[in-house]
Chains A and B, each alone.
With several copies, the nearest count.
Chain A
Amino acid sequence: MTTSTPEGRLLRYVDALCEAFAQEMRRDENVFVFGLDVDDHKAIQGSTRGLLDEFGPERVFTTPLSEDAMTGVAIGAAMSGMRPVHTHIRMDFLLLCMNQLVNIAAKARYMYGGTVSVPMVVRSMIGKSWGQGAQHSQALHSMFMHVPGLKVVAPSNAYDAKGCMIAAIRDDNPVVFMEHRLLYPTEAYVPEAPYEVPPGKARVVAPGDDITVVGISNMVVECLRARELLAEVGITAEVIDPIWLTPLDVDTIVESARRTRHLLVADNGWTACGAGAEIIAGVLERAGPDAGIAVKRIGFAPTSCPPSPPLEAQFYPNPGTIAATVHAMVRPRSSGWRPDPERAKLAYQTQFRGPF
């Protein structure tokens, strides 16, 4: 779907990640993968499958439940030239790591006058739906986008998952790598050979003239579905995937929004001081008022995430609410169009079944 190239095999997002680890660990023995449960039989939903067997317990190991210190351990190992990949099964747990990530990882190179670098990757998964609840559902990318010294990436498909992970591991800076649980089974064409999807370049995943819709992480998928629904009423939406949130490719978005004169950011996080606020402010600072761009954000409702199904359904943006929001922006005078909720469903959402 969002693959920019048909070369390679159809691979699931989760397997693309796993391939990236294996290839980078073969290439550079300084790369190691650690974090709770990376070495158990479930292998983080399969994303670390086979790594223990191939690379052994020195390079693939679990840890005590000590996220704060383990983050510091990753930083220290990185400062001494290793390339740790620290894994968390939920992004919510990064709140235990904020001091190490923000006060140390992000600042070490600067604070030490360029005499060190911190080449580490912090993997975390965003949980969604099926009663994950308040503490297993957060997408906290904007907190990391706020902090100079960190890079942030949120691939929305298998192709980018592999390319971004390889780029992140090779990057000499701390990279917060945001995965999405519901994207794990989604497939895309993925080249076998290692490749990088480098920081700082967004991708126009589908062309359109009436509005520019920026989707973040799994919201790209939902925006594409919304685009299909909108096409049926004659609205063409240009969907852009920023891929890397820091460094953020604002130019590509500005260029599109100047043309469509409408900009919607669909985030898979809260909107206040969120990635959408940054994108909108960044675009309008550049484009100026004469560009006449109408802007809007859609994201998590401003509540904690409730597990109760009807509340949860209301909490998240979806293709239906995205399409309706676009319609209201592009055709303000025609009153409240909504697509059929049934048709607005996404395949993977109807499939997904717990526990996790």
Chain B
Amino acid sequence: MPQSSLPGDVRPETLSHLYRTLRLIRVVEEEIARVYPSDKIKSPVHLSIGQEFISVGVCDALEPRDRVSITYRGHAAYLAKGGDLKAMIAEMYGKRAGCAQGRGGSMHLVDMQAGVIGASAVVGTSIPVATGFALAARRRKTGAVVACFLGDGASEEGCFYESLNFAALHKLPILFVCENNGYAIHEPLSKRWATDRLTERVATFGIPAEKLTDGDVFTVRNAAKAAVGAMRAGGGPAFLEVACYRWQEHVGPNRDYDQGYRPAAELAPWVANDQVARLAGLLNPAEVERIDAAIARTVAEAFAFAEETPFPDPEDLYDHVYA
């Protein structure tokens, strides 16, 4: 992967901000993986370790009023958009203080205040819902936009194409971001895609579409800023396909290079290009230490909170079935 050097226009506070978010996500997910064997998190977890740079780059182009539609592999986007950490971990522990009061679980993180509009565990099916949010934003002329994350597998669902056509037809302010990590569970693209021309295909809807392959958080951020800027000015949807790699197993806390479906050699270049380490290297060590220490505290607090905060009362089972 060609490593683009740090763009000149990046201000120091931006750099530390991006690092802080990348690092927070990484530490949170590593802690989830550490705690997982204790079986306190009774919920399937899909870690995004190694893919954080996409969420961080995209969400840096967003404002609080903007929305993100995430996936079941959504810890990174949830946190990058400012989703509440304590509520997230509490949700994974199935606690009442969870962001969905224990009714969502790891696959359905939500934080409407922060603009995280939720996730579907039925792959791809959150895409039309995100498009509906964009329709409402356009109707209200608020200038707000929606970023909709999806995986390479999700792009195989018909509703993805239906949504693209509708979003382009109505010039909706939505940025579709395909996190292409090359696999759906254990199945490689070669068994699922007739061709590797997704970006080109999306462009035929009249949607500006770009494929980013350098694994660089700044590349993603700049592309997202450009796309979102055009939308706020009244432009329609945009599309980014971002190459990335899932370091851990599809679901669960471990690595799975011993399973035979993919070689560890695939991982190496991505680790070499790890954006968390890269940005740490671009900051001065003292600041890195400060940030890391603060994050360590925050994360420890969040897990401690999740541990002690109470479970929902079984009698509350029927709450929220109807509004």
Contacts and interface: CB of A to CB of B under 8 A. Distances in A.
Residue among B117, B118, B130, B136 having the largest count of chain A Cβ atoms under 10 Å: B136
A42 B112 CA distance: 37
A210 interface: no
Interface residues on B, range: 35 or more
Contact of A73 (B105, B120, B132): B132
B56 interface: no
A245 B124 CA distance: 31
A311 B95 CA distance: 10
Interface of B: 39, 41-45, 67, 94-96, 98-108, 110-112, 117-118, 120-137, 139, 153-154, 156-159, 162-163, 165-166, 169, 184-187, 191-193, 251-252, 259-261, 311-314, 316-323
B44 A356 contact: yes
B122 A110 contact: no
Interface residues on A, range: 35 or more
Contacts of B43: 130-131, 133, 307, 354
A335 to B, nearest CB: 20
Main secondary structure of the interface of A (DSSP, over half): loop
A76 B101 contact: no
B121 A136 contact: yes
Residue among A84, A110, A172 having the largest count of chain B Cβ atoms under 10 Å: A110
A80 B124 CA distance: 20
Nearest first, the 3 closest Cβ-Cβ pairs linking A and B are: A76-B132, A72-B128, A308-B102
A114 interface: yes
A163 B315 CA distance: 35
A308 B321 contact: no
A113 B323 CA distance: 11
Given A133-B43, A308-B102, A66 B165 contact: yes
Contacts of A32: 139
Residue among B45, B67, B186 having the largest count of chain A Cβ atoms under 10 Å: B186
Contacts of A319: none
B104 A76 contact: no
Contact of A68 (B118, B128, B318): B128
Contacts of B100: 111-113, 115
B122 A112 contact: no
Contacts of A68: 128, 158-159, 162
A92 B275 CA distance: 37
Contacts of B42: 130-131, 307, 309, 354
A72 B110 contact: no
Contact of B108 (A65, A114, A133): A133
Given A109-B322, A133-B105, A80 B121 contact: no
Contact of A133 (B98, B104, B118, B191): B104
Given A72-B159, A103-B120, A112-B108, A79 B323 contact: no
B158 A69 contact: yes
A76 B130 contact: yes
Nearest to A73: B132
B135 A76 contact: yes
Contacts of A113: 98-104, 110, 320
Interface in A32-90: 32, 36-37, 40-42, 58, 61-82, 84
